[in-house]
A and B are shown apart, each in its own frame.
Chain A
């Protein structure tokens, strides 16, 4: 082949290749459904990633066992990263319509999922036939995923926040490890003693960036008995004595006592990295924060314990709750929805199986004994079974969470338009944590105006 001919051939091959790849892009990989052999195929996300070897093996074993028990169902697993719902990725998948048939989402994602038009109403399918423990699931959790009387997802996890503390630092500071602070003034005293240990240890650590500051402000405000928005969700409701108290507590610890460390503008991974390194005495979080500290940030389970969220003068008035569930993609066939529900029931909602397979988790050093997920209603049959299994196989010292469990705090959900509100409240949190002369009244007033403006624009 001469050079010009070769060039022409190369150019034509390039054009043909490009055309084919574009065609491939536009081809729907719509092979899910029922095949000629009568098998129903569903795609499910949140499969553990390759680096989570044991978790991945557990998942794959669960899939194999489920398919053995249900030979007419094929599960195709999809991994979407270690964090199953990283908001930018999740938004992109929703907007692009590339979510799996059965897809994971947070409780705060319901509005976004419904707006994207990607979820289907599963009310008629979710029952005891598809999920044997359905009647044991806390009705309040089902309500979170219900809109206009229609159910759009099945809850698989639920948590509430408390005070997570480092027992080793407590001991070193001469504090009682079995009696964590119950009020914010007690937290302040303890933080002062812990930070006096030096070596860069923060007595109490708090978020103030990436919307996590606003998230925690909400929980701190709930502990005071406040609320972020008015009950109709139309106006901000934090520029008051309770909001001021939240920021004053933080400012006192940060600049009055210098007990919160020099590094601020922390978000989730920053704080837990410091915690894993033994540099944080206390912070507020859910029980599984300890799991993240161990599995992702090289901490040790035995170092951590948990108490209820403190209140200002006594027990907290409320704490922030959250959780996750699985949605079902629109236009699935009834067989696919039923197959998906069966899989969720098997892997997420059956004591002794999947996430509740404590016998399997115990030797793998995954925590058994944490007071979560709070999925089943108190006194229900499934809850009794789950608690018995948890107790029999606990590999973490359950006494570390005994105070938290023995002092339940009423749980409140997140406000409407949570992420946008949190983004505004980040500025108030970063204000008191980075500026010794921060004017709390001005910070709250600015945040209030911004949130009202935002809500007005949204309505």
Chain B
């Protein structure tokens, strides 16, 4: 333990200065608080906001998942809500749909922005305009963007944009959101279009941090564009790639607005029901806030599992 001399106490000649370890620590802490009063005051605001609007509702959600309210009386029911939710006929359908969406979004929504960023990075001219073009959809409110897809692109008649293009190419048209097989790909396409602008900008920033000498050396070694991407670009951006993969999984598993707007909820034969939409159904349409809370906790645990895997992997990488 460090022993410090208390400032302001004069030592007498021939005698060592008195030392007050405990007090000195207190003083040090007090000084730290005083010195950073402004910072702490601002911190209190953030902490209170998080506590009231984020942590407290989360704790309340967990508590509610073990309770049942009937006739205004709230009672503890143990795991009943969880067992009931597991018995919900749509439970496994919703998880299957959610994992399908997440997987497809990883394949499409994760890879496409990366390659668009590489492409944009290669352009010599009109870079700014192209970036704005790519980022524009992000500025559209998600509901507006999805209504555009619903009424303009995914119209199942020949009048729909995508069907008109397919017709012009003499390809078979699709029922899009009205086909259980096409529901997921259609939602992923719309979601990728809406959200990829942000990811593209982040990838671009990462790409521009890669030293040019690495590419020059690779070229001198005879590496083509694909080898340069595999051996230079991907290793150099792996941290950003891993981070965005994690964020993407966590975000896409909570997809809600896509089924709500594109499929009017559950979609054709339940093909669009997501876990988040099922939570909404239980909470707001089925008089079952406790069941909704239980499903929310299950989802939290699954997402926490993914986050833990990510943290472990990234710690190993570092």
| Chain A residues within 8 Å of B, Cβ to Cβ | 4, 7-8, 11-12, 14-15, 18, 22, 87-88, 91-92, 95, 111-112, 114-118, 200, 209-211, 262-267, 270, 330, 417, 419-420, 423-424, 426-427, 430-431, 434-435, 443, 449-451, 453-454, 456-458
Q: Which 8 A-B pairs have the closest CB atoms?
A: A117-B72, A11-B41, A450-B89, A209-B264, A88-B284, A112-B287, A434-B178, A262-B157
The reply to whether the CB of B218 lies closer than 8 angstroms to some CB of chain A is: no
Residues in A with CB closer than 8 Å to B227 are: none
Residues in A with CB closer than 8 Å to B265 are: 209-211, 267, 426
Q: Please tell me which one of the listed residues B42, B87, B157, B179 contacts residue A434 in the complex, with CB atoms under 8 A apart.
A: B179
Give the residue among B41, B177, B268 with the most A Cβ atoms within 10 A: B268
The reply to whether the CB of B281 lies closer than 8 angstroms to some CB of chain A is: yes
Whether the pair B285, A423 counts as a contact (CB closer than 8 A) is: yes
Residues in A with CB closer than 8 Å to B45 are: 14-15, 18
| Chain B residues within 8 Å of A, Cβ to Cβ | 37-38, 41-42, 44-45, 48-49, 52, 69-73, 83-84, 87-90, 155-157, 175, 177-180, 263-270, 280-281, 283-289
How many Å lie between the Cα of A299 and that of B51 in the bound state?
50
Residues in B with CB closer than 8 Å to A456 are: 87
Residues in B with CB closer than 8 Å to A91 are: 283-285, 287, 289
Which label, helix, strand, loop or mixed, suits the secondary structure of the A interface? helix
How many Å lie between the Cα of A434 and that of B90 in the bound state?
20
Q: Which residue on chain B has the smallest CB distance to residue A25? A: B52
Residues in A with CB closer than 8 Å to B69 are: 115-117
Whether the pair B270, A11 counts as a contact (CB closer than 8 A) is: no
Known A-B contacts A426-B265, A450-B90; the reply to A11 vs B72 at CB < 8 A is no
Whether the pair A265, B268 counts as a contact (CB closer than 8 A) is: yes
Give the residue among B69, B266, B289 with the most A Cβ atoms within 10 A: B266
Whether the pair A265, B89 counts as a contact (CB closer than 8 A) is: no
Q: Which residue on chain A has the smallest CB distance to residue B177? A: A265
Q: Please tell me which one of the listed residues A14, A115, A200, A266 contacts residue B264 in the complex, with CB atoms under 8 A apart.
A: A266
Whether the pair B41, A12 counts as a contact (CB closer than 8 A) is: yes
How many Å lie between the Cα of A457 and that of B291 in the bound state?
11
Give the residue among B37, B83, B89, B270 with the most A Cβ atoms within 10 A: B89
Residues in A with CB closer than 8 Å to B283 are: 91
Q: Which residue on chain B has the smallest CB distance to residue A11? A: B41
Residues in B with CB closer than 8 Å to A449 are: 89
A297 to chain B, nearest CB (A): 15
Q: Please tell me which one of the listed residues A4, A262, A427 contacts residue B269 in the complex, with CB atoms under 8 A apart.
A: A427
Residues in B with CB closer than 8 Å to A458 are: 84
How many Å lie between the Cα of A426 and that of B83 in the bound state?
24
